[in-house]
Amino acid sequence: MDDLILRYAGEHTSPEPEVLRLLNRETHLKTAWPQMLSGHLQGRILAMISKLLKPEAILEIGTFTGYSALCLAEGLPEHGHLHTIEANPEFEDTIRHWIARAGYEEKIHLHVGDAVKLLPGLLARYRFSLAFLDADKQGYPEYYRLLRKGLPSGAFILADNVLWDGKVVPETRHQDPETLGIRIFNQMVSDDPGVEQVILPVRDGLSLIRIL
């Protein structure tokens, strides 16, 4: 039933722009972890949130092949910009190719390296009003600490994979580093009096967090 519902939801959601459809296909054909892609339904959610907020500056942690960055960029105003961080240099050429193909060379800025090292400088230089977190899961708690220090009141954080295929539920007894990282992150957000949040059970779980 879950697969049927997801298919139905996808069929009744606005289609991907053609460049995203092609990127989606190439990611599935040429990468070992195509499930890391945001995909059609979640991509349209990211684009819709970005269009609602119209952020001047967006920060993304975890680019993969660039699909989510292109979705988020749809909501940028004329002079807006998006900074995205990818740890794996093997994806750099692919990301730059699709940024150019989508016509976002002037709006999307790729940074390749360790997000923990890059974030302080970016957060000090730019006033981001939207951040999307979709990187290594054991790193989520540290990324959240840095984002909370550097993002202004009213900013939004979107965090992907917060349900982690159901492994976050304590009864499952999963103790791998990725699951523990997500559990710690979810608890940090839940215990933070400076934010309000809701977890959307879309795909692998999308957390929507607003800084008060």
Per-residue three-class SS string for 19-30: HHHHHHHHHHHH
- What is the chain's pLDDT, residue by residue, as a tens digit (212 residues)? 688 998 999 999 999 999 999 999 999 999 988 888 999 999 999 999 999 999 999 999 999 999 999 999 999 999 999 999 999 999 999 999 999 999 999 999 999 999 999 999 999 999 999 999 999 999 999 999 999 999 999 999 999 999 999 999 988 888 999 999 999 999 999 999 999 999 999 889 999 999 99
Domain CATH for 77: 3.40.50.150
Q: What total number of domains does the chain contain?
A: 1
Nearest CA to 95 out of 108, 82, 107, 106 is that of: 108
* Residue 1: predicted pLDDT: 61
What is the span of the domain harbouring residue 130?
Answer: 2-211
